[in-house]
Amino acid sequence: MKSKICVVGSSNIDQISYVEKIPGDGETVFGSSYQMGFGGKGANQAIMASLLGAETYMITCLGEDVYADMTIENYKKNNINIDYLQIVPGSSGVAPIWVDESGQNRIIVISGSNDHIDAEKAIQALSEIEDLKIIVGQFEIPLEVTERVFSFAKENNITTILNPAPAKIPSESLLSLTDWFIPNEVEFATISKMDAFIDENLINYGNSLSGNLIVTLGDKGAATIDKDSVIKIPAPSVKAVDTTGAGDAFVGAFAYGLASDLTPQDAIKLAIDRASNSVTKPGTQISYSKQ
C-alpha cells in the first residue's frame, strides 16, 4: 500500500524573473530570462511527495480563471488526487518572484482564492479519505483553517506537519496540534525571537513544544532536537542556481519519508537530499526530481 498523505494548502502560479541583481528603489534593470510555472507552498509539497511515490491528495482552493485550468492539469499530470478541490469566484493565487545571480529569491504572494478555502469542506473531505497517515499545512491559507484541519487530525490519530511559511506567529492551540514543526532559520527567528544557529536556542524552543522541531538551515542542512541535544544533518555541497521551492521540497520529501515509516533522521536526510538537488536547477516544481 502506498503511503497516503494529504496537503491542505495553497496553489499559485509562479511568475519568475531572473536578474543579475535585484533592483533597488526606483531602479529598472534588465532580466536575463522569465518563466511561468506552478507553485504555492502546498502544491509544491504535494508534488514532491507524489514524485517520491506517496498517494497524495491536495485540498486547495482555485479561482474561476485560466490559471485554475492550468493548475488542475498540472495536478493530474503529477498524479495528485484533486477530488476535493474547491473553486470560488475571482482570481487564483499568483506569486511574482525575482531570482538574482546567486540563486537567492524575493517573492510576493498574492493569495487570491487561497484566502477563501472552506474549513468545513476540507474537514468533510478528510473524513472521506481512508487510511490517511499525514496531513501537511503551511501559512499561505488562513491559519484558522489549518488549525481546524489539524484538530480533526488529532482526533483521528493522523500525524500533522506544519511549515510556518511565510512566517507568521502561530497560536498556542495550533502548535499544540502540531506533531512536526518545520520552520527555516528566518521563520524560526521571527517566531521564537531567537537565532537558529545557537544550539541552546533550538533546545529551549524545541522543548517548549508538545511536538517535534526541525529547523532547515539552507546550505548547512537541518537541525532537530532529541531531548537536550541538537542533531545537525549536513547538506551536500552544490552550486545553487535557484533556491525557490527548496523548503517545500524538504517538507514534501520529509512527509513522504515519515509516511513510509523511515526513522525521522532518515526522513530528514532524504528531505535534505531532495531540497539540495532542487536548488541546482531553475524553477520551482520543475526543479524537483525523484532522485
User: By CB neighbour count within 10 A (0-12 exposed, 13-18 middle, 19+ buried), where does 275 fall?
Assistant: buried
Place of cell 496537503: 7
Q: Which residues pair with 18 in a beta bridge?
A: 33, 99
Calpha distance 5→124 (Å, rounded): 16
Biggest CA–CA distance in the chain, Å, is 56
Calpha distance 221→261 (Å, rounded): 22
Calpha distance 113→164 (Å, rounded): 19
Return contacts of 153-156, CB within 8 angstroms, 24+ apart.
Answer: 153/126, 153/177, 156/126, 156/132
Calpha distance 28→12 (Å, rounded): 26
Grid coordinates representing 86? Answer: 474547491
Helix H or strand E segment including 31: strand 31-39
Task: Spot the catalytic one: 248, 261, 266, 273.
Answer: 248
Whether 25 sits among the annotated catalytic residues: the reply is no
Grid coordinates representing 104? Answer: 537567492
Helix (H, G, I), strand (E, B) or coil at 144: helix
Which residues are catalytic, by number?
Answer: 248
